[in-house]
Amino acid sequence: QAGPMTTSTIPPGSSSTTSPELAALAEAVARRRNFAIISHPDAGKTTLTEKLLLYGGAIQQAGAVKAKGEQRKVTSDWMELEKQRGISITSTVLQFDYAGNTINLLDTPGHQDFSEDTYRTLAAADNAVMLEDAAKGLEPQTRKLFEVCRMRQIPIFTFINKMDRPGREPLELLDEIEQQLGLACWPVNWPIGSGDRFRGVIDRRSHNLILFQRAERGRASEEKTLSVQQARETGAVEAELLDQALEELELLEGAGADLDLELVHGGELSPVFFGSAMTNFGVRPFLDAFLELAQRPAARPSSAGVIEPIRPGFSGFVFKLQANMDPRHRDRVAFVRVCSGKFEKDMTVQHARTGRAIRLSRPQKLFGQDREVVDDAYPGDVIGLNNPGMFAIGDTLYVGPRIEYEGIPCFTPELFAWLRNPNPSAFKSFRKGVNELREEGAVQILYDIDESKRDPILAAVGQLQLEVVQYRLEHEYGVQTRLEPLGFTVARWVLGGWPALEQVGRIFNCKTVRDAWNRPVLLFKNDWNLGQLRDDHPDLELSGVAPVVSGVEPIAL
């Protein structure tokens, strides 16, 4: 029973029947962690990512550990628009080894005009790290992304950053998270002083101090560990600051909650860390605790019940499609999250939606602009597949008995605009571009119910998404387009479909459109108008996100 192959992910009693392959799979799963960082721009995500990678040795993140400017260039120069705007729109996946474990960091776009990509990346993550600026606390983008994590009930680790600068009271920051997000907090360490008088943290479980030593700007600070007694004897920390921190810690202990892993893994209790990414303070202790507390590659619901990662056959789903990452090749890449089994190069898999068998001969790992062919991958990993137009967001690939994972929901669009093609002779390219960009999930497409108005309505969660669509139509499909904004900000899908809508009769202050699956969608100028409809017709069931479809092909333009 004992031995290194026995891990908590192997169901009890299965060790006697475990083949060497399954044992190897179970070990690979036990050694994997995967997470995405959720934060508001400027909280320090790029900085934290760089520091995390420093601990990962130099494997496979080629080009990622660079000065910020350079890194941005490396990860994003596939698209001219990004260069012009100096931002990173695309998500990349970074993999690094630390303390014998393989960690996948699913990077999300950093710009505040973020898009659905950010949400979809969270669908592939098993854990989230919520990064806050200590001076700012909760910010709008963090809240939105938090909602997605909550929907998926994934563990959320909180890192309060920029402790080297004057910030808000730690207790107040935690209170904000508990009150406003309804997320209980369990500080794993507690700060001693702040700003100019930030002296380090006390590890709550060992009661050791980790001292912060100021280094030159941007340089790693040394972390020195000592006991409370040593700190008192050597006068390493002002007694007054130490007393205050200990007092606050006692207060927390008095509140009584335990670090309950079940609550952490259910996304109800957040382990909290204080640090300073820029000076590299608190990053290693965070990483160590994260490895200990994070959820391993998790089981997922599917059409055939919950699929465990140690299911022998490979399975995974497409969470993101991206075209033309490399302008020299004009190819498309499907990002697949491996959910179960071992993935091997040249494997033949089943494509659940079409029922076709596909040989995956050129799987890749992608690191910004750099790619390399992978030979194998395990649950929790992400692979890139060349996509000759056969993959769509949410598609399941599998080996063995048929399974299909739950689709990835589309997210509530907040911006709507007619997409006009002023040049009728370019219609064919226009149509091809619109259809492919929709299929890729670059934007949602709605249509007027008046069939004489054939132009598509773009529906996006961020302005940048609209610009990217226009830019790509021009540069990849050769069509110049015009956007005509519609003055709506709220969309609701009518769950009862057209019959339910007919029963209600005429609705005021609202435009009815249909989505690519010919389902009715209501557009409102604001929440107030939506509220009016709710008051008038409380029985009408509405959803802010499009219900997941499977097995039905959408209407093309």
Closest CB to ligand GDP among residues 52, 293: 52
- CB 320, CB 120: distance < 8 Å: yes
Closest CB to ligand GDP among residues 148, 333: 148
Tally Cβ neighbours within 10 Å of residue 253. Answer: 10
State the minimum distance, in angstroms, from the CB of residue 554 to ligand GDP: 35
State the minimum distance, in angstroms, from the CB of residue 49 to ligand GDP: 8
Closest CB to ligand GDP among residues 41, 313: 41
Which positions lie near ligand GDP, rule CB under 6 A?
39, 41-47, 68, 110, 161-162, 164-165, 276-278
Please report, as a single letter, which amino acid is at residue 229.
Q
- CB 364, CB 372: distance < 8 Å: yes
State the minimum distance, in angstroms, from the CB of residue 261 to ligand GDP: 28
Q: Residue 501: enclosing H or E segment and its boundaries?
A: helix 497-504
Tally Cβ neighbours within 10 Å of residue 341. Answer: 27
Closest CB to ligand GDP among residues 194, 470: 194
Task: Measure Cα distances from 344 to 27, 169, 383, 434, 447 in Å.
Answer: 17, 50, 11, 34, 42
State the minimum distance, in angstroms, from the CB of residue 108 to ligand GDP: 10
State the minimum distance, in angstroms, from the CB of residue 72 to ligand GDP: 9
Going by C-alpha positions, the residue among 510, 498, 499, 502 that lies closest to residue 534 is 510
State the minimum distance, in angstroms, from the CB of residue 308 to ligand GDP: 35
Place of tokens 């699956």: 517
Task: Measure Cα distances from 176 to 7, 204, 322 in Å.
Answer: 37, 21, 37
For the record, the structure tokens of 184 come out as 């209980």
- CB 204, CB 249: distance < 8 Å: yes
| CA 387 from centre of chain | 22
Closest CB to ligand GDP among residues 159, 524: 159
State the minimum distance, in angstroms, from the CB of residue 83 to ligand GDP: 17
Report the distance separating Cα 250 and Cα 233, nearest Å.
21
Closest CB to ligand GDP among residues 317, 367: 367
Report the distance separating Cα 349 and Cα 361, nearest Å.
11
Report the distance separating Cα 213 and Cα 12, nearest Å.
47
For the record, the structure tokens of 431 come out as 């149509």
Closest CB to ligand GDP among residues 107, 395: 107
Closest CB to ligand GDP among residues 133, 395: 133
- CB 490, CB 527: distance < 8 Å: yes
Beta-bridge partner residues of 401:
none
State the minimum distance, in angstroms, from the CB of residue 138 to ligand GDP: 14
State the minimum distance, in angstroms, from the CB of residue 158 to ligand GDP: 15
Closest CB to ligand GDP among residues 43, 417: 43
Report the distance separating Cα 223 and Cα 243, nearest Å.
21
Closest CB to ligand GDP among residues 41, 312: 41
For the record, the structure tokens of 119 come out as 């949400």
Task: Measure Cα distances from 264 to 74, 189, 204, 397 in Å.
Answer: 35, 16, 17, 30
State the minimum distance, in angstroms, from the CB of residue 333 to ligand GDP: 24
